[in-house]
Structure 1
Amino acid sequence: MPLHLSESEIVDRAALLPAFPSVVNDILQTLDDDNATLGALIHLVERDPVITARVLSIANAAAMAGRTQRDVRDMQVAVSLIGLSKVRETVLGVSLANFSSESRMGRHFWEHSVAVGVAAQELARLGRISTDYALVCGLLHDIGQLWMARCYPLEFQMVRLSLSLEPTLDILEAERKHFGIDHCAIGRLLATAWRLPTSVVAAIQHHHDAHPPADKLVAATHVGEVLANALDLSRQDEARVVNLSESACDLLGIDWNDDLNYLFGKIEARARYLARIFS
């Protein structure tokens, strides 16, 4: 018999998870604020010593690669070396990596999340939309599974067992069988409760849809999930190539007749690199 979970119970039980990092919303708000300054971003970085250390480490690596003989300790110098985009990417990734780690999810869960985030980013470039939003959508697309594993570990393991015994079983069907709801719907509730932008909520909710809404961010997350599984970037035994939405590909301008090996190689290389950097 499946569980009978109300929406309020799902949101209330999110208290069992670590506190969602507020810096994620802060970063996304700076993207939508035309008056946001470099100083505001630096302030966000310097609030967290772990993130500060990671940004300075990347900046020092860049300085060494550029044969600059200096020990970078100033955040403004660090930003000038690696750029605003890389700083935002690092802040978002490290914050959500810590969140995932504190939630006690396995390494494969985070590696898959990073892979989808990177794939969504590269697809966002094709679709000419925000790569920062795309990264967040990819990193959080399976947040509903994290909730399942933390709040109902026995039922979550039963879903995993069902998928291993029935390779053709759809993951959403397996989840509904045991939970009465799937991780996409749970993810929507959590993202809404955390006051994430509506576009991010939609991407989390619809990333498995065969016919997702005509939204480029949703499309990038959906296709990113398919590519991450097809390329087996997290090397999971249960990685599955879900149905690929033709309309999502068209929306992003993807033509599978083109030579996309460069795109696939870039996604794979960046996913491996960022999984190390963020962790």
Structure 2
Amino acid sequence: MPLHLSESDVVRRSALLPAFPTVVNDLLQTLDDDNATIGALIQLVGRDPVITARVLSIANAAAMGGRNQRDLRDMQVAVSLIGLAKVREIVLAVALAEFSRESRMGSHFWEHSVAVGVAAQELARIGHLSQDFSLVCGLLHDIGQLWMARCHPLEFQLVRMSLEQDEGLDVIDAERRVFGIDHCAIGRLLAMAWRLPASVVAAIEHHHDVQPPADKLVAVTHVAEVVVNALDLAAHQKSRVTHLAASACELIGLNWSDDLGYLFGRIEARSHYLTRIFF
């Protein structure tokens, strides 16, 4: 018999999860602020010594590549060296990497999430939308499964076992049989509780079931997971999307008749690089 969890049950038991990093929300808010400055980003980075160290480390590596031998300690110089886009990516990745380590979820879960985040970023270039929002959507798309594993570990294992025994079983159906709710719906509730932007909430909720007219972030997250599965990245993941919505591809302007080898190569290479931040 399924658990028949209510929305209030999900939100209440989310206290068992690690605290969601506020820097993620703060950064996403600056993207929507036309008055946001480089100084505001530097101030945001400076609030977290782990993120600061990572930004300076990458900036120093860039300086060494340019035969600049000095030890960079100035964040303004570091940002100018590696660029705003790279700094934002580092902030998001390091913050969520800390969250992942505290979550005590298996490495395959986060390897898959990182790969989908990177794929969403790359697809965002094609669809002309925010790569930062896309990265967050990809990294958090399966966050409902983290809740399941932490709050109801026995039932979560029952779902895993049913998927292993029946390869044709859809993960959404398997979860609803046991929990009475699926990880997409739980992810929506978590994202809302963490006050993430509405477009991110929608991408987490609908990445398995894209219904036109969909938001571009929904489409990018959906296609990103399909691409990651096709490339067999983090192959042990059992949350595979079983179909590709043609409407999602059309919405972001992805044409499968084009030569996509370069795109797939970038996704694979960057996934391996970003995974090193998480583990």
- Shared fold (TM-score greater than 0.5)? yes
Please say if residues 229 and 239 of structure 1, whose CA atoms lie closer than 8 Å, have aligned partners that are also in contact: no
- Two-structure CA RMSD over aligned residues (Å): 1.2
Question: What is the match of residue 236 of structure 2?
Answer: 236
1:24 has 2:24 as partner? yes
What is the distance in 2 between the residues matched to 1:157 and 1:96?
24
What is the distance in 1 between the residues matched to 2:49 and 2:181?
38
Question: What is the match of residue 34 of structure 1?
Answer: 34
Question: What is the match of residue 64 of structure 1?
Answer: 64
What is the distance in 1 between the residues matched to 2:278 and 2:55?
10
What is the distance in 1 between the residues matched to 2:114 and 2:27?
18
Deviation track 1:227-249 (CA, whole Å, cap 9, x = no partner) reads 11111112326463520000000
Q: Superposition pairs for residues 125-274 of structure 1, below 5 Å? A: 125-211=125-211, 213-236=213-236, 238=238, 240=240, 242-274=242-274
Q: What is the CA-CA distance between 1:85 and the residue it aligns to?
A: 0.6
Please say if residues 230 and 241 of structure 1, whose CA atoms lie closer than 8 Å, have aligned partners that are also in contact: no
Unaligned runs of 5+ in 1: none
Please say if residues 230 and 240 of structure 1, whose CA atoms lie closer than 8 Å, have aligned partners that are also in contact: no
Deviation track 1:14-41 (CA, whole Å, cap 9, x = no partner) reads 0001111100100000000011111111
What is the distance in 2 between the residues matched to 1:272 and 1:156?
27
Question: What is the match of residue 90 of structure 2?
Answer: 90
1:110 has 2:110 as partner? yes
SS at match of 1:57: helix
Question: What is the match of residue 8 of structure 1?
Answer: 8
Unaligned runs of 5+ in 2: none
Please say if residues 18 and 102 of structure 2, whose CA atoms lie closer than 8 Å, have aligned partners that are also in contact: yes
Please say if residues 63 and 69 of structure 1, whose CA atoms lie closer than 8 Å, have aligned partners that are also in contact: yes
**TM-score (norm. length: structure 1):** 0.97
Change (3 A) 1:241 1:201: closer
What is the distance in 1 between the residues matched to 2:179 and 2:241?
23
SS at match of 2:5: coil
**TM-score (norm. length: structure 2):** 0.97
The letter of the residue matching 1:130 is S
Change (3 A) 1:97 1:178: same
Q: What is the CA-CA distance between 1:278 and the residue it aligns to?
A: 4.1
Please say if residues 171 and 239 of structure 2, whose CA atoms lie closer than 8 Å, have aligned partners that are also in contact: no
SS at match of 2:95: helix
Change (3 A) 1:181 1:215: same
